[in-house]
Amino acid sequence: MPSRLARGLAAALLAATCLLSLDALGAVSTHDREQARKHANAGFDSFSAGDYGSALAHFQDAENTMHAPPHLLFMARALDKLGRLLEARDTYRRLASEHLPRGCPQAFRDAQKSAGQELQALEPRIPKVKLTVEGVPVAAARISLDGVAIATEKLSQPVDADPGKHQAHAQADGFAAAEQSFDLQAGAAPLEVRLVLGQAAPSPATPPTTPQPGANEGAGPSVPALVLVGVGAASLVVGAVTGGLALSRAGELRDKCPTSPCPTENEPLAHQANTLATVSTVTLIVGGAATAAGTVWLIVEATGSPAAPAGSASGMDRPGRWAGWRLGAQVGPGYLGLTGAF
């Protein structure tokens, strides 16, 4: 690359000449001129050493201090070396299209001429990618390249990009997004990248979060209701057994006392028969009441009726349906009952 280095040296000399020529024009202060020269010299040293990142930074500082076409020329060359071809092209174009006033230093015109020539050599080296969207109409898709949105009307032609790794992304409402990673080489033929969008999986139904009528359906019965039914069943069994014993004792008493009055020695048997009859009656009553109460309780739970809202005057949440039940068992000497409020 001797010719390339020689061209770089020549351009650096032209930049120094520009700075001297601007003195005569009185366009910059002495301090700015010295600062621009300092940055330009440092940029040229970095460029010659192959440190293109530092060279770019130095020439940008020089340009920010004082505009001179050679600064832009070296900035474009450094961007090219760094693989940032799109930025290099923009910088070359900026310099090539700049209007130079009459009487400007020849170094400015030489830098502009070099920019035009180098721009022509750069253009064929810029990679291109042809993005193709499938699965949906192109107009319905949202496409991006490296996170930057691309207008769908631009997809009819290949898109310019820098060399290196890239990522294309496409998405559309109701479809699963598509993504492709690829690598571009400078000077290579345009690369075609297909982005195929598929049908999105249906989202799972959201379960209801508010209690619904009948929400208690399927839940196990409550313990109090089962206790009532159990007590009732046991009481009925006891009542039946004691009732049978009472009848048996009464039969014995009739056999021993066919006529009245009954001898006094049979009083214990008569007392036993009366006691068994009383126990049978009480247990049968308790058993029947407990069984009925437990059954009603279970039926009320099975309906799943929600509690009445606070402040409800009617006690009903809608016509024909009670809003809530309040149940309780009452046990006393010789009886068992169920109380409730609607």
Give me the pLDDT at residue 332, please. Answer: 53
In a domain, 246, yes or no: yes
The whole-number pLDDT of residue 260 equals 67
Q: What is the percentage of the chain residues whose pLDDT exceeds 70?
A: 70
**Please, is 91 exposed, middle or buried when counting C-beta atoms within 10 Å of its C-beta (0-12, 13-18, 19+)?**
buried
CB 275 within 8 A of CB 253: no
Task: Tell me which of 153, 183, 199 is where a domain ends.
Answer: 199
Asked if residue 142 is part of any domain, the answer here is: yes
For residue 165, being part of any structural domain is answered with yes
Whether residue 33 is found in the same domain as residue 88: yes
**Spatial distance between the Cα atoms of 297 and 146, rounded to a whole number of angstroms:** 68
Q: What does the pLDDT read at residue 324?
A: 45
- At residue 219, the pLDDT reads 54
pLDDT for residue 269: 66
Look at residue 25 in the predicted model and tell me its pLDDT: 43
pLDDT means over runs of 10, the chain (342 residues): 47 48 58 93 96 97 94 97 97 95 91 96 96 90 94 89 96 92 95 89 63 52 73 77 74 71 72 76 79 76 54 42 47 50 46
Question: Same domain, yes or no, for 153 and 100?
Answer: no
- Do 56 and 94 share a structural domain? yes
Q: Residue 60: its pLDDT value, please?
A: 97
CA 79 – CA 47 distance, rounded (Å):
11
Smallest CA-to-CA distance from 242 within 268, 280, 274, 275 is with: 280
Structural domain count, the chain: 3
Question: What is the structure's pLDDT at 243?
Answer: 73
Domain boundary among 60, 93, 125: 125
157 and 238 share one domain: no
CA-CA distance, 307 to 324, in Å (whole number)? 4
Domain span at residue 150?
Answer: 128-199
CATH number of the domain to which 120 belongs: 1.25.40
* Whole-number Å distance between alpha carbons of 140 and 155: 13
My answer on whether 17 and 116 are in the same domain is yes
Note whether residue 216 is domain-resident: no
Strand, helix or coil for residue 218:
coil
CATH number at 149 reads: 2.60.40.1120
- Residue 264's pLDDT is 73
pLDDT tens for 160-211 read 999 999 999 999 999 999 999 999 999 999 999 999 998 776 666 666 666 5
The answer to whether residue 13 is domain-embedded is yes
**pLDDT value, residue 227:** 76
Q: Please tell me whether residues 229 and 191 are part of one structural domain.
A: no
Comparing CA positions, the residue from 307, 292, 125, 122 lying closest to residue 213 is 307
Asked whether residue 276 is domain-assigned, the answer is yes
Whether residues 255 and 316 share a domain: the answer is yes
- Clarify whether residues 172 and 248 are in a common domain: no
150, part of any domain: yes
Q: What is the pLDDT of residue 236?
A: 77
Residue-wise pLDDT for 36-49, tens only, equals 999 999 999 999 99
Ranges assigned E (strand) in the chain: 128-134, 142-145, 148-150, 159-160, 164-171, 175-176, 178-184, 191-196, 198-199, 316-318, 321-322, 326-332, 335-341
DSSP 80-132: HHTT-HHHHHHHHHHHHT--PPTT--HHHHHHHHHHHHHHHHHGGGS-EEEEE
